[in-house]
Amino acid sequence: MTGLMLFMRRIWPQLMTLAVIVGLISIMFPGFFQISIANGRLYGSPIDILNRGAPVALLAIGMTLVIATRGIDLSVGAVMAICGAVSAWGITEGYGLAATLAMALAAGLACGLWNGILVAVLGIQPIVATLILMVAGRGIAQLITEGAILTFNHEGLIFFGSGSLLTIPTPVIIGVVTGAIVTLIVRRSALGMLIEAIGINLRASTLAGVNTRVLLIAVYMTSGLCAALAGIIAAADIRGADANNAGLWLELDAILAVVIGGTSLLGGRFSLVASMIGALIIQAVNTGILLSGFPPEFNLIIKAVIILIILVLQSPTMRTVLVFFSREPAGASDKDKETVAP
C-alpha cells in the first residue's frame, strides 16, 4: 500500500465528518458556499471557518505532538495571552515589527521550555505541570499589559490578524504553512517515530537510547511556539491584547481537535493533518450554529451534542459495530483499528 493511500485512509473519518457538517450547514443555510472577493480578500462562510479556525488549528499542531508523547498542555490558552500581550507591548513601546514578533515567539518558546523542564526533568505529571502556567500565565499577561487592554494601531501587526495575501487571509496562511513545516520536519526526520515511541513506552524508548528528555522539552517548546503564533493572530485580530480573554478555553478546543483527529490521549500514533481538520470541524460547528439562527443561548448545548455524536461515532465500540456491518475482510478492519486510535 502506498504512503498516500495510508494517509488518506488515516484522515478519511475526519474528512467525512467535516463534509457532513458542512453539508448540513449548507442545507440549513443555502448561501453558505457563496464566496466573494472584496478589497483583494476572499469573503464567505467557508473562508470564515478557515480564518476563525486558524488559531485553534495552530494550537492543535503543538497539542498533537504533546499528546503523542502521552502528555497534555493545558497552558496554551494562557501562553496565547502572554504572547499577545508581549506583541502589543512591544509594538506600543516602539520596538518595530520584527523585534516585536521575535519577542512574542521567544516568549512562547520560553513558556514551552518551562513546561518541558517541569515534565521531562522534574518528572511532574503533564496535566499538573502545565496547569501551573495555565493559571499563572494570565497573571503574567496582566502584568505585561498592566491590567488594561493594551490596544495598538500598527498596520504591520494588524496584518497578521485581518490582512490577506493573494486574497487569502493571513491567519489561514500562517496555519497552513506552520502545519506544513511541522509535518515535514516531523515526518522527514526521525522525530515523528521517536515521539511516538516515547508516547507508547517511555521506559523502553529510554533503554533503546532515545534522548527522551530533550525530545520531551522540544515537543513542549513546539507547543509554546504554536501558541505564540495563535496569540499574535488573536491580538492582531482585535488590535489589542486582552490578558483575561485572549485564548480563553482554547486549550480545551485544541485538545478536542486532537481527539477528533483520532490521536489517542494515551499517546503514540498521531496525525497533524487530522488534528487540523479536527480544529476546522469545531469551527464549522461554531459557524454553523451561528448561521443557522438558533437563539445564541443554545449554542454551547448544540456544540456539545454535535461533538458527542462525533466522538461516539469514532469510538472503538462504534467501530466494532460498523465493522460488523461492513463487507470488508476482517484483516482490513484490524488495520483500521491500529492506525485510527480513538
Partner 1 sequence: MPQSDNQPLLRARGLRKVFPGTIALDGVDFWLEAGEVHALLGENGAGKSTLIKCLTGAYRRDGGDILLNGDMIDPKGTIDAQAYGIGTVYQEVNLLPNLTVAENLCLGHQPTRFGMISTRAMNRRAREVLSQFGLDIDVARSLASYSVAVQQVIAIARAVTLSGKVLILDEPTASLDSHEVDLVFGVVRSLRERGLGIIFISHFLDQIFEITDRVTVLRNGRLVGTEATRDIDRVRLVNLMLGRELEQEVRSHGKTHAAAGEPRLTFTGFGRKGSIEPFDLSIRPGEVVGIAGLLGSGRTETAEVLFGVAAHDSGEARRGDGTALRLTSPREAIAAGFGFCPEDRKTDGVIADLTVRENIALALQARIGWMRRIPAREQRAMANDYIRKLDIRTPDAEKPVGLLSGGNQQKVMLARWLVTNPSFLILDEPTRGIDVGAHAEIIRLIEDLCAQGMSLLVISSELDELVAYSHRVIVVRDRHHVAELAGGDITTDNMVRAIAAPEREAIN
Instruction: Give the interface with partner 1 as residue ranges (CB under 8 A).
Output: 188-191, 193-194, 196-197, 200-201, 203-211, 215, 268-269, 338
Which residue's CB is nearer to partner 1, number 301 or number 337? Answer: 337
Which residue's CB is nearer to partner 1, number 189 or number 326? Answer: 189
Q: Are 107 and 84 a contacting pair, CB within 8 Å? A: no
Among the listed residues 18, 46, 52, the one whose alpha carbon sits nearest the alpha carbon of residue 33: 46
Q: How far is the CB of 271 from partner 1 (least distance, A)?
A: 14
Q: How far is the CB of 184 from partner 1 (least distance, A)?
A: 12
Among the listed residues 61, 34, 27, 56, the one whose alpha carbon sits nearest the alpha carbon of residue 283: 56
Q: Which amino acid is at 10?
A: R
Give CA angle at 257 (311, 239), nearest 5°. 145
Which residue's CB is nearer to partner 1, number 145 or number 205? Answer: 205
Separation CA 190–CA 269 (nearest Å): 14
Which residue's CB is nearer to partner 1, number 94 or number 331? Answer: 331
Q: How far is the CB of 116 from partner 1 (least distance, A)?
A: 16
Which residue's CB is nearer to partner 1, number 244 or number 339? Answer: 339
Q: Which three cell numbers stand for residue 289?
A: 450554529
Please give the sequence-ordered ranges of beta strands (E in DSSP) within the chain, or none if there are none: 36-38, 41-43, 150-151, 164-165, 168-169, 240-241
Q: Which amino acid is at 273?
A: V
Q: Are 135 and 11 a contacting pair, CB within 8 Å? A: no
Which residue's CB is nearer to partner 1, number 93 or number 334? Answer: 334
Residue 123 DSSP symbol: -
Q: Among positive and negative, which fits the CA dihedral 75, 80, 83, 84?
A: negative
Which residue's CB is nearer to partner 1, number 208 or number 309? Answer: 208
Which residue's CB is nearer to partner 1, number 307 or number 341? Answer: 341
- Collapse the DSSP code of 221 into the 3-class scheme (helix H, G, I; strand E, B; otherwise coil) and give the result: helix
Helices (H), 93-169: 97-116, 126-145, 155-162
Q: How far is the CB of 195 from partner 1 (least distance, A)?
A: 9
Q: How far is the CB of 197 from partner 1 (least distance, A)?
A: 5
Q: How far is the CB of 119 from partner 1 (least distance, A)?
A: 18
Q: How far is the CB of 212 from partner 1 (least distance, A)?
A: 9
Torsion of CA 287, 292, 297, 302, to 10 degrees: -70
Separation CA 112–CA 65 (nearest Å): 13
Count the neighbouring beta carbons within 10 Å of the beta carbon of residue 51.
24
Please name the residues in contact with 243: beta carbons below 8 A apart, sequence gap of 6 or more: 81, 85, 138, 141, 142, 144, 145, 147, 149
Which residue's CB is nearer to partner 1, number 31 or number 331? Answer: 331
Furthest CA-CA distance within the chain: 65
Q: How far is the CB of 179 from partner 1 (least distance, A)?
A: 20
Q: How far is the CB of 221 from partner 1 (least distance, A)?
A: 14
